[in-house]
Structure 1
Amino acid sequence: MPLHPDIAAFLASLPTPEPGPIDPDVLRAAEHAHLAPVSSRPHVASVEDRTARTPDGDVPVRVYRDGAAGRGILVYLHGGAFFLGSIETHDHVARALAVATGLDVVAVGYRLAPENAFPAGLDDACGVVRWADELDGGPVLAVAGDSSGGTFAAAVAARLHDEGFDRITHQVLLYPSLDLDFDQSRYPSLVENATGYGLEFAGLAPFNAFYLGSGADPADPLVSPTKRADLTGLPAALIVTAQFDPLRDEGEAYGQRLRDAGVDAEVVRMPRANHGFVQNFPHLDESREAIAQVARFVGEAG
């Protein structure tokens, strides 16, 4: 199938990027300048800004509830190449997840690169999962993330498993970045979808440079979860990929490796979609279907 026409039209309307180095502050300001009004986002019964107290410090979180209490908790980690994104830029995604799943959703305002060296953001994410488990939310404790948030979700599931914390029942990875070794020959989708679909292969290295420059080593399994040798014992996984995403194949390969290790892992490829479609095009059927897939998945026994 071809790229969705709404996505294609949007990409065609984008101006040519300015040459020169990337300025995180400029891009962050641009993100927040284009936020949709709260009135246009999914309605949720309650939204509360809170502080999660963790061993590594206080972490801002936003808790969404749309169903009955006590069913479970989904900890949501936003994307943004480890230096962009926030609770606010992904507020509509967290709301949609709360409405669809009936779980309490805890969105995490983890520390960003380059101001905060690796593993600051990952430490925050792990700490919030442990904090959320103390909320007595119910039998489900899921961790989910999109793009680089998917990197964190996979790394959190693995790291907490290694620490003996096996309360996580589900991991949800939406078009995740799982291999920060940007060797184009390793995955066909890095070539097939290299240009013209929003996330450019040529942009992967400079965008992730803020994270890697903060001390994150692409060979470290907590940075590139696909580098982990032993995947046995990890939580059940749902990996949603996009047809026109250069990161598509690494996500699908990780799903196969999880299955080979005996983990209940499902991979769903969304046709006509590109990287970031759930955040950037929430009105599309493909985005609604991805959220529905998450709801179905976490509704199953972990």
Structure 2
Amino acid sequence: MGDLDTVDVPCRRIASRAGCVVVSVDYRLAPEHRFPAAAEDAYAAFRWLAGNAREQHADPSRIAVAGDSAGGNLAAVVALMARDRGGPQPCFQLLLYPVTDGAQDTASYQDNADGYLLTRESMTWFWNHYMGDADRTHPYASPMRAADHRGLPPAFVVTAEFDPLRDEGEAYAHRLAAAGTPVECRRYDGTIHGFCWMPGVLDKGRQALDDAAAALGAAFLNGVRPHGIANPTTMDEEA
């Protein structure tokens, strides 16, 4: 599900706020193209941009990977692929409520199984279409399952309070931090999965995108990297 138009608004807002080029990737979708098609498409796009950045008015030494939900999964996976395959490396990863583990066994999956837009049942449907008979524990499907998370780029991770994916996003942030990666993780209370798609009607959607763009812009312009975390920062209703 989804296409370039689906994410056009958040891409434009990030480009505007961070002052950067955003390349939005229209990767192949399942079930016509199952795992690892989407991941390989995303990695191919990253490699292409690294080799053609100047033509896109971009700096090849400052390329980040970013995405939300399934796109957050692909961004994290591209960072792993780039490290494992020894090619160009992203300088930053921006992960908005990412899918990081196919186990679907966290407390947030239980607490937010129904009633908050994204459901446990729909995630099972997505996983089944994406993976088919393939192994969900493959690290390029479930980046949480990678044997080693060292040597990955700094990260800014966004999670939503009422989202089945909340806990796995935060767990991935902790896994990166434990491996020595500078990470900032922010939970936006009172929000649901996909809230960053709705900056026109949700204050928290605007805030999260602007916070993400600020982190991205700082990484690009100043080499500022987020600090390691012990617990996610909660962005409450008064923020």
Please classify the TM superposition score into its range, dividing by the shorter chain length: 0.7 to 0.9
CA deviations 1:7-53 (Å, max 9, x no partner) are xxxxxxxxxxxxxxxxxxxxxxxxxxxxxxxxxxxxxxxxxxxxxxx
Unaligned runs of 5+ in 1: 1-83
Q: Secondary structure at the match of 2:149?
A: coil
Deviation at 1:281, TM superposition (A): 4.9
Q: How far apart are the structure 1 equivalents of 2:177 and 2:78?
A: 19
Query: Is 1:196 aligned to 2:115, yes or no?
Result: yes
1:267 Cα deviation after fit:
0.5
- Partner residue in 1 for 2:190: 272
State the Cα RMSD in Å: 1.4
Correspondence list, 1:1-302, <5 A: 84-134=1-51, 135-136=53-54, 137-138=58-59, 139-183=61-105, 187-213=106-132, 216-298=134-216, 299-300=218-219, 301=223
Name the TM-score, length of structure 2 as normaliser. Answer: 0.86
State the number of aligned residues. Answer: 215
Q: Which amino acid aligns with 2:149?
A: L
Deviations 1:252-282 (A, max 9, x none): 0110111110001110101111001111454
Secondary structure (helix, strand or coil) at the match of 1:105 reads coil
Higher helix share: 2
Alpha carbons of structure 1 residues 229 and 150: separation in structure 2 relative to 1, 3 Å: same
**Offset at residue 101 of structure 1 (A):** 0.9
Which residue identity is paired with 2:102? Answer: L
Deviations 1:210-267 (A, max 9, x none): 1011x54211010001001210000101110001111101110110111110001110
What is the SS of the residue equivalent to 2:187? strand
Distance 1:227 1:113 in 2: 22
Aligned to 1:70: none
Amino acid at match of 1:198: L
Q: Structure 2: where are the runs of 5+ without partners?
A: 226-239
Identity of aligned residues (%): 42
| Residues in 1 aligned to 2:141 and 2:77: alpha-carbon distance in whole angstroms | 7
8 Å Cα contact 1:171/1:235 also seen in 2: yes
Distance 2:72 2:155 in 1: 11
What secondary structure, in the 3-state scheme, does the structure 2 residue paired with 1:267 have?
Answer: strand
Does the CA-based 8 Å contact 2:34-2:129 persist in structure 1? Answer: no
Q: Output one character per residue of 1:177-196: Cα deviation in whole Å (capped at 9) or x when no partner.
A: 1111223xxx2111121221
Task: State the distance in 1 between where 2:165 and 2:45 align.
Answer: 27
- Tell me the distance in 1 between the aligned counterparts of 2:186 and 2:134: 29
Distance in 1, Cα, partners of 2:49 & 2:207 = 27
Q: Aligned partners of 2:126, 2:89: CA distance in 1, in Å?
A: 33
Which structure exhibits the higher relative contact order, with contacts defined as CA atoms closer than 8 Å and separated by 6 or more residues? Answer: 2
Structure possessing the higher radius of gyration over alpha carbons = 1
CA shift for structure 1 position 117: 2.8
Bigger share in strand? 1
SS class of match (2:137): coil
Alpha-carbon distance in 2 for matches of 1:233, 1:259: 11
2: CA distance, partners of 1:244 / 1:203: 15
TM-score by length of 1: 0.68
Contact 1:119 1:216 in 2 (8 A): no
